[in-house]
Amino acid sequence: MVSTHFFNAATLLLVSSLVIVSAIDYSQGSHPDINKPTPKAKEKPLPIGVEGHILCKSGTSSPALPVQGAVARITCLAVDESGYETAPFSFLSGETDKNGYFFATLTRSDKLQLRQCKAFLKKSPLKDCQVPTDVNRGIGGAVLDSYRVLNHKKIRLYWVAPFYYTSDSNGYKQ
């Protein structure tokens, strides 16, 4: 009889110990909490594309013509991963095609967060149309503020309004 009471007491003590051990919260210790979602891998930022047109406008009555071989400059401000602003950096578009169309790409860094990018006129190959104008902020810089994501090309694409060169040193006014 004593052994039966001893066996029941030992069994009760063992079951109680298991209940207490299973109730301990290990999520604060070295054991992972399986209910917590695992963090997703950080996605690489999409490259940036900038497109637009560069045209020549000589006088108020003549039509604007595309400038083949012109170049645009894109300048960006950025902040590094520690929160410090970096020196501005620039990159150039490829030369415009026969329609005056330019395209520039920038592969973004994981370590830099872009704060502001602007597009500017850089150069015209035409001797009779080399004076830059500020139409659509070609001199002051057109802020890149709206974009669309091209999922099939995996790029964030910005568009700027047409930039103009003129032959008139007084500048073309729109």
Tell me the domain boundaries of the chain: 48-166
Q: E strands along the chain, which residues?
A: 48-56, 65-66, 71-80, 89-92, 101-106, 112-123, 131-132, 142-143, 147-150, 155-159, 163-166
Mean pLDDT of 124-132: 95
d(Cα 158, Cα 114) in Å, to the nearest integer?
14
pLDDT in tens, 10-48: 454 444 544 444 444 444 444 444 445 555 556 677 888
CATH pick for 48-166 out of 3.30.70, 1.10.30, 3.40.50, 2.60.40: 2.60.40
| Greater model confidence, 15 or 87 | 87
| pLDDT winner (highest mean) among 43-57, 76-90, 93-107 | 93-107
User: According to the model, what pLDDT value does residue 79 have?
Assistant: 87
Contact (CB, 8 A) for 115 and 77: yes
Mean pLDDT of 107-124: 85
Query: Per-residue pLDDT for 84 more than 70?
Result: yes
| Greater model confidence, 168 or 103 | 103
